[in-house]
Amino acid sequence: MKPSRTTLSSLSALGRRTEAPPIAWLMQHALEHPDLISLAAGFTDNPTLPVADTRDIVAGLLRGHRSGEPALQYGTTGGLPELRRLTAQRLLTQDRAAITLTPTAGPAADVQEGHYARARTIITSGSQQLLYLLTEVLCDPGDIVIVEDPTYFVYLGIAQSHGLDCRGVPLMEDGIDLDALEALLEGLRRTGTLKRLKLLYLVTYHQNPTGRTTTFARKQAALDLLRRYEKAAGHPLYLLEDAAYRELRFAGEDVPTALAVRGAEDRVLLAGTFSKPFATGLRVGFGVLPEPLLTRVLHVKSNHDFGTSSLLQHVLARALAGPVYDRHVQTLRRRYRRKAGWMTAAMRQSFPDTVRWQEPTGGLYVWAAAPRRVRTGLKSAMFRRALDHQVLYVPGRLCYANDPHRRAPDHEMRLSFGNATRQAIELGIERLGAAIRELH
């Protein structure tokens, strides 16, 4: 039943403005058609979910009152102190190791303990909540955020809900196009709209949707550009680094976060998650934020939920403190390496030579580009043909901001190997290849 105009008029501007996320329709369609093979949803691998480990941790927590009561009681808005400490220490250790592996990143001394202090770390209900909170605290309707072309489409939904003006900058194989970023910043300065710019949003590890990883050098250069234009903007310009897929690396070397850039910790907003590398049903994310932004985010978060689930935080703290978490991450990396290999091998066999993709080194996705004449959007002949063949993908057009200053491509697809079985991956790619060839 459609809502009446009278009903809609009673909603807030945000309520009227917010649209249903496209992925909701894709997921619903897959559920309603059980014979359909979905390579769309970014679900994680079912067989490797840590059921036994989680059961053991919960049983241990609830075995005695001393551990059980805190786990079942309210916690603080900022998060369980032990989980915040473990999170900060893990980030510090990862970045030190990544700097050692990456000669261009500079000496390990550039990573300073203060960047990861527990006091600057916040625990949230998944990284998605942190992205929403930061947008809510920083942005007013009409403000500008810069995103990659393409980017995480769920964040585009947050921006659309808040009435933001998203500007897309092309994504290269190793990160954002710095020349295009500088040209955009200069254009905003010349038109007097730079004062509306609030942040640059980057998904820096095995990016959703393209699978690309941003080099440390590009993170540093992007921060330098934001610094250069701050005076004209009249306020801080932040780099919001979404590191959700960092721990799902199965090839190549790790890269430090932007927090490791000397002197940049007051402009870097780091968002991460324990859901993707452990269990997506445990909706626990984290962030590292500078003041005074951290305090403002905590104020708003207390209005949202009065604190992330204590039980889930205690479970994650125990997993991190012992061997469980790291052991599970290694299992996932081996599993996703195999699944990515199954998908790309099937693509080489079933797709025309004119379809291009980049071999994934982590994450859950392969980003495929058909010839430009083959449109892949929701209303395209290709999408309808894929449904006829009982296979579902995410149209690439959904991953581009609604930026009228450029024409967004409409010939790409995001394919997920995260949740599908080997049989579903190989059969789904075969079906999709047949659909492409029929339109080629």
Per-residue DSSP letters for 373-389?
TS--STTSHHHHHHHHT
Query: Are 331 and 318 found together in one domain?
Result: no
Overall average pLDDT of the 409-415 stretch: 97
Overall average pLDDT of the 333-352 stretch: 98
Whether residue 68 is contained in a domain is answered as: no
Query: Are 276 and 423 found together in one domain?
Result: no
| DSSP one-letter string for 134-156 | HHHHH--TT-EEEEEES--HHHH
Percent of the chain with pLDDT over 90: 83
**DSSP label of 108:** G
Query: Are 162 and 176 found together in one domain?
Result: yes
Whether residue 302 is contained in a domain is answered as: yes
Whether residue 271 is contained in a domain is answered as: yes
Overall average pLDDT of the 211-232 stretch: 97
Name the residue among 344, 364, 347, 407 with its Cα closest to residue 209: 364
pLDDT attached to residue 410: 96
Query: Are 45 and 90 found together in one domain?
Result: no
Whether residue 61 is contained in a domain is answered as: no
Q: Is the pLDDT of residue 153 over 70?
A: yes
Query: Are 354 and 245 found together in one domain?
Result: no
Query: Are 317 and 338 found together in one domain?
Result: no
* Local confidence band at 109 (pLDDT 50, 70, 90 cut-offs): low
* Local confidence band at 107 (pLDDT 50, 70, 90 cut-offs): low
Whether residue 379 is contained in a domain is answered as: yes
Q: Is the pLDDT of residue 264 over 90?
A: no
* Local confidence band at 5 (pLDDT 50, 70, 90 cut-offs): low
* Local confidence band at 196 (pLDDT 50, 70, 90 cut-offs): very high
pLDDT attached to residue 24: 73
Q: How many residues does the chain have?
A: 440
**DSSP label of 249:** B
User: Could you tell me which residue, 399 or 18, shows the higher pLDDT?
Assistant: 399
Query: Are 248 and 360 found together in one domain?
Result: no
Whether residue 57 is contained in a domain is answered as: no
Query: Are 233 and 171 found together in one domain?
Result: yes
* Local confidence band at 333 (pLDDT 50, 70, 90 cut-offs): very high
Overall average pLDDT of the 152-167 stretch: 96
Whether residue 64 is contained in a domain is answered as: no
Asked whether the beta carbons of 129 and 139 are under 8 A apart, the reply is no
Domain with 379, as residue range(s), is: 5-49+327-439
Overall average pLDDT of the 76-91 stretch: 96
pLDDT attached to residue 35: 85
Give me the torsion for CA of 83, 85, 91, 97, rounded to 10°: -120
Overall average pLDDT of the 303-322 stretch: 96
Give me the torsion for CA of 23, 29, 34, 37, rounded to 10°: -50
Burial class (CB in 10 A: 0-12, 13-18, 19+), 391: buried
Q: Is the pLDDT of residue 113 over 70?
A: no
Whether residue 58 is contained in a domain is answered as: no
Task: Take residue 438 and report the two structure tokens written for it.
Answer: 């029929």
* Local confidence band at 108 (pLDDT 50, 70, 90 cut-offs): low
In the chain, % helix, strand, coil (3-state, to 5) comes to 50, 15, 35
pLDDT attached to residue 7: 63
* Local confidence band at 114 (pLDDT 50, 70, 90 cut-offs): low
pLDDT attached to residue 439: 86
Name the residue among 429, 206, 159, 421 with its Cα closest to residue 333: 206
| Residue where a domain terminates, one of 323, 356, 391 | 323
Query: Are 127 and 268 found together in one domain?
Result: yes
Overall average pLDDT of the 283-294 stretch: 96
What CA–CA distance (Å, rounded) separates 359 from 210? 10
| Residue where a domain terminates, one of 323, 353, 387 | 323
Query: Are 114 and 229 found together in one domain?
Result: yes
In CATH, what number is assigned to the domain containing residue 407? Answer: 3.90.1150.10
Q: Give the neighbor-by-neighbor strand order of the sheet with 175-176.
A: 121-124, 285-288, 268-273, 238-242, 197-203, 144-149, 165-172, 175-176
Alpha helices in 36-177 (DSSP H): 51-61, 65-71, 81-101, 126-138, 153-161
Asked whether the beta carbons of 433 and 350 are under 8 A apart, the reply is yes
What CA–CA distance (Å, rounded) separates 319 from 395? 36
Please give the mean pLDDT across all residues of the chain.
93
Looking at the structure of the chain, the number of domains it has is 2
What CA–CA distance (Å, rounded) separates 284 from 274? 6
pLDDT attached to residue 38: 93
What CA–CA distance (Å, rounded) separates 27 from 382? 19
User: Could you tell me which residue, 25 or 398, shows the higher pLDDT?
Assistant: 398
Overall average pLDDT of the 233-258 stretch: 97
Query: Are 271 and 396 found together in one domain?
Result: no
Overall average pLDDT of the 26-49 stretch: 85
Amino acid making up residue 423? Q
In CATH, what number is assigned to the domain containing residue 240? Answer: 3.40.640.10
Query: Are 225 and 174 found together in one domain?
Result: yes
| Residue where a domain terminates, one of 274, 291, 323 | 323
Q: How far is CA 124 from CA 257, 274, 319, 327, in A?
A: 19, 10, 17, 24
pLDDT (tens digit per residue) in 10-21: 888 888 887 877
pLDDT attached to residue 118: 79
Q: What is the rounded radius of gyration, in angstroms, for the C-alpha atoms of the chain?
A: 22
pLDDT attached to residue 356: 97
pLDDT attached to residue 112: 57
* Local confidence band at 6 (pLDDT 50, 70, 90 cut-offs): low
pLDDT attached to residue 250: 97
Overall average pLDDT of the 142-168 stretch: 97
pLDDT attached to residue 41: 83
Lowest mean pLDDT among 7-11, 80-84, 91-95, 159-163: 7-11
